[in-house]
Amino acid sequence: MENPGGRWLLMVLIVVGICCSACCHHRPLRSEGKECRNGDLCVRSASVCNQAYDPPECHVPTEGTKCRADGDCGSDQGLVCNRADFRNAKCRVRGLAGAVCARNSDCRDGLYCHVRDSICEEPSLTAATPAPAPSGTWKDPQSGLMWQVNPTGARMTRTDAVLHCESLSLGGFNDWRLPTISQLRSLIRGCPATQKGGSCELTDSCLTASCWDVNLCGGCSNHGGPGSDGAYWPPELSGEVNEYWSSSDPDRGKNDSGWIVSFSSGGVLVCLVPPYAVAVRCVR
């Protein structure tokens, strides 16, 4: 004779087993130091799946833990991923005045990251408040140059880029131009070798291929900058995170190739002028 109680018990065990299997499959638990993927749960409550390891591993973030993004430093420890040393990013407590930094969020509240010196500083109490830039423009306090916030137009050849900027009317100004390579490099943030004053020797005064070295000018990790989507430009700017034309070329006057900046990597690169189309941001 069939036992009704046994049948019900078997059904309960089957249902519980299916649910547990689904839950475990959806969010696996990983031990400290074990390989993990985004979405996995680490056993220790403060542990995170740190993407800076290859492959990613579960680790409790502490001061000095290597990182690739703020998420690798947890959300409860008061740490941020400081990329001032872009090849050796570490979880750090937000810095006091004088601490190294790559962006404002690396510094304590009330401080900002001085872009040229890459250190946390207090805002000048005696400096006059600058007049706001016209709508659609941004004035770089480091260089004094005014830039388009969001580039107009699609990708274009360099010939079209020159004409586009010279005919641009924005913010009440008509004197826009395609930036030189030194001007374009002045926008790079978070990649010390290629930002203005870095070890990459390619500038307006040294444009030949002999001035370019892949180890110094090749850039940093992809999408590791302080801008939106990891762009290596100031957070105030927007637009396609890609290569942008400069008006400079390796062989003056030949016009068969031109220097560009890849803001996805911070690299200073060369591009054949015809027929390639590249993004454009005008300057004045």
**What pLDDT score was predicted for residue 99?**
83
Q: Tens digit of pLDDT for each residue in 115-158?
A: 666 788 887 643 445 567 778 899 998 888 999 999 977 899 98
- Residue 48 is predicted with a pLDDT of 86
Tell me what the mean pLDDT of segment 86-94 comes to: 81
pLDDT at 256: 67
Confidence grade of residue 86 (pLDDT, cut at 50, 70, 90): low
Tokens representing residue 67 in the block: 């990182």
| Segment 13-38 mean pLDDT | 58
SS3 breakdown of the chain: % helix, strand, coil, rounded to 5? 20, 20, 60
| 193-201 mean pLDDT | 90
**Range 170-181 average pLDDT:** 92
Do 110 and 120 form a contact (C-beta atoms < 8 A)? no
Residue 29 — pLDDT band, cuts 50, 70, 90?
confident
Give yes or no for a contact between 106 and 94, defined as CB atoms under 8 angstroms apart: yes
Domains of the chain: residue spans and CATH: 130-284 (3.10.100)
Taking residues 107-115, report their average pLDDT. 80
Instruction: Report strand pairing: 112-114 vs 90-93.
Output: unpaired
Among 49-58, 101-110, 121-130, the range of highest mean pLDDT: 49-58
Percentage of the residues of the chain whose pLDDT score is greater than 90: 33
What is the arithmetic mean of pLDDT over 25-46? 74
CB of 237 within 8 A of CB of 147? yes
